[in-house]
Amino acid sequence: MTRTPSTPKKKRIFMTGASGCIGHYIAESLIQNTGHELFLLVRKPEKLKFDYQARSGITILEGDLREISQYNDLLSTVDGAILAATAWGGPREVFDINVVKTIQLIKALDPNVCNQVIYFSTASILGQQNQPLPQAGQLGTDYIRSKYDCYQQLSKLASAPPISVIFPTLVFGGDENKPYSHLSSGLSEIPKWINLARFLKADGSFHFLHAYDIAQIITHLVDYPLPPDPKEDFVFAHHLVLGNPVITIDEAVEEICQFLNKKIYFRIPLSLALADTLIGILRLVGVKIEMAAWDQFCMRYRHFRYQNPVNPTTFGLTTYCPTLSDLLKISGVRAKLDQG
């Protein structure tokens, strides 16, 4: 896939989730790099750190997805929708926002007017062949199960605009002007645990992507929607797993050690039996470790890798953060270590 050279048509875009980490990057990119008319639904406008008055055509809608029906008239007129809002805690709120109200919003869009819905799910609900993972719906956290349920319900819609389902893998991002993702907020702890991790070998793999790169992709898709994939059904136009090329846990530890100038003298294989033993020992000495059903499944599943991951290079763009070293550099991990 490469960038389409034609000038994109000006559109009316409705977006949820602009106050979150990914949402901040997407909204800022759309404001700075496009001329589209944007309608941003946010519960607390004071949480927005980007300049939504930088140009005309930006409307902040102070409201909640629970009250999405009050925007039905507007929703029937938009050319596209970006659904990045999500709820994380509390079963009732999570399923109401992530499933019921999301479906209600999509049903309010006019398929004859709206030519694209970009819906954010999570790669956690997929197996290694990019198909729904049953354990995600059975054992997942409230958040993961809600995303699994929403995906299943979307697939059964009788009528809807073309939906591109976005499955982010591990997401990093955030700075003084944007909220930090959960993972990025923990990067400062790397120098503490790498001293132990460098002496262990672990069987596992994963993808990651920076929120800036996610914003690059979404902006490109808004400007240049992909033609529907003929292999998809009529509801889903595309399934896009967002992530850099897969990296193993051992490769990640080695790259982090190289970046931090930490030597690796030997490595002990960390088997499931050894991991269970270590957890048991820590519990005996008073360390509180709770392993939910999903945590236990992840320990045994281990390889969260997917087919044909999408990143900016897929569309002829330049990836902002292609490696873990780049991620650590822009996050200032080495500088904090030197200062410490």
Question: pLDDT: is 337 or 26 the higher one?
Answer: 26
The number of beta carbons lying within 10 Å of the beta carbon of residue 280 is 10
Q: Quick one: pLDDT at residue 192? A: 83
Mean pLDDT of 7-35: 95
Q: What DSSP letter does each residue of 76-143 carry, written as one string? A: TT-SEEEE-----S-HHHHHIIIIIIHHHHHHHS-TTT--EEEEE--GGGB-TTSSB-HHHHHHS-HH
d(CA 318, CA 134): 35
* Residue keyed to tokens 């909220």: 179
pLDDT computed for residue 88 by the predictor:
86
Q: Model pTM greater than 0.85?
A: yes
What local confidence, expressed as pLDDT, does residue 340 receive? 47
Region 215-235 average pLDDT: 85
Above 90 in pLDDT, residue 124? yes
**Tens digit of each residue's pLDDT (9 = 90 or more) over 146-171:** 999 999 999 999 889 999 999 999 99
Question: By three-state DSSP, how is residue 302 classified?
Answer: coil
pLDDT at 193 (0 to 100): 87
Alpha carbons 81 and 74: distance in angstroms, whole number: 11
Res. 277: pLDDT tops 70: no
Residue 125's pLDDT band (cuts 50, 70, 90): very high
The predicted pLDDT at position 5 comes to 55
- Report residue 264's pLDDT band, with 50, 70 and 90 as the boundaries: very high
The mean pLDDT of the chain is: 90
Span 34-90, pLDDT tens digits: 999 999 999 999 999 999 999 999 999 999 999 999 999 999 999 999 999 999 878
pLDDT classification of 4: cutoffs 50, 70, 90: low
Token pair 């080695």 is at which residue?
Answer: 254
Q: Are 209 and 169 in contact (CB under 8 A)?
A: yes
pLDDT attached to residue 122: 98
Cα angle 27-31-35, degrees, rounded to a multiple of 5: 130
Is it the case that residue 3 has pLDDT exceeding 60? no
Average pLDDT value for residue range 285-312: 84
